[in-house]
Amino acid sequence: MQSNNLIMLSLLSNLKIAVPDKIYIKDPESSDLGKRIIEHSILLIDEIGFDSFTFKKLGSKIGSNESSIYRYFESKHKLLLYLTSWYWAWIEYQMVFATFNMPDSKAQLFKAIEVVTKTIEQDVTFSHINEVVLNRIIINEYSKSYLTKEVDSENKEGYFVVYKRMIKRLRDMITNINPEYKFALSLASTIVEGALHQHFLKEHFSSITDCNEYVTPTDFFKELTINAIRK
């Protein structure tokens, strides 16, 4: 058992954050320019917002031609899909790592909820990606990646596979506690999406949320979940 645990931990520690390859033309992780595109697109979108963000402005920031960015992504929409997919893959990685081999189902579910609802801290593993800033983009801009006319065709192409897989992992932990609970998927997706919304309200509309400097979205979703699935 200990040997298996060491193997699993080794695999997790060397895990590459994988994004569906149909989202990009050339893998940005494959070159220094690609990594700079990702690094500075995160900073620029956070600074000016996705609506004002353009490849021309990004090119000026990184000292590269606009055309060179198009070699990696066909549009800024695809770039946003890449960033959001990377973020959810990173969250999924943390969820798997944090909950691995936990024998208590409730403790495992609570740990998973903590991972997907907590305030993000910098992960030094990925030096070209500022996860704290990326999290702000996810809170403020994530819905723009799927509230489009193309969402159904992009879903069929697998652009949202990481996001959906993570929610199904959370669903499985819910059903481990109460297999008879009928709304496990709805609850899992509510936890993930609702956490983003509560973080947004806490920052911008504090008068309509109970989350504040003392009460976190994590506190809320733990209580909501355990009350919902109680037998």
Cα dihedral: 78, 79, 80, 82 (round 10): 90
CB 61 within 8 A of CB 45: no
CB within 8 A of 35, min separation 6: which ones?
A: 28, 29, 128
Average pLDDT over residues 85-104: 92
pLDDT the model gives residue 5:
54
Average pLDDT over residues 61-88: 96
- Per-residue pLDDT at 16 exceeds 80: no
pLDDT the model gives residue 122:
77
pLDDT the model gives residue 17:
82
pLDDT the model gives residue 127:
77
**DSSP string across 137-198:** HHHHHGGGGTSSTTHHHHHHTTTTHHHHHHHHHHHHHHHHH-TT-TTHHHHHHHHHHHHHHH
pLDDT the model gives residue 18:
86
Q: Report the alpha-carbon distance of residue 5 to residue 10 in Å, rounded.
A: 8
* Digit-coded pLDDT (tens) for 139-187: 999 999 998 999 999 999 999 999 999 999 999 999 999 999 999 999 9
pLDDT the model gives residue 14:
52
Domain containing 70 — which CATH number? 1.10.357.10
pLDDT the model gives residue 185:
98
pLDDT the model gives residue 121:
81
Domains: count for the chain: 1
pLDDT the model gives residue 49:
97
**Residue 179 sits in which domain range?**
2-229
Tell me the CA distances in angstroms from 215 to 91, 206, 219, one per residue in order.
22, 12, 6
Average pLDDT over residues 86-115: 94
pLDDT the model gives residue 101:
86
- Per-residue pLDDT at 125 exceeds 60: yes
* Overall pTM > 0.75: yes
Q: Report the alpha-carbon distance of residue 186 to residue 221 in Å, rounded.
A: 13
Burial of 179 (0-12, 13-18, 19+ CB in 10 A): exposed
pLDDT the model gives residue 190:
98
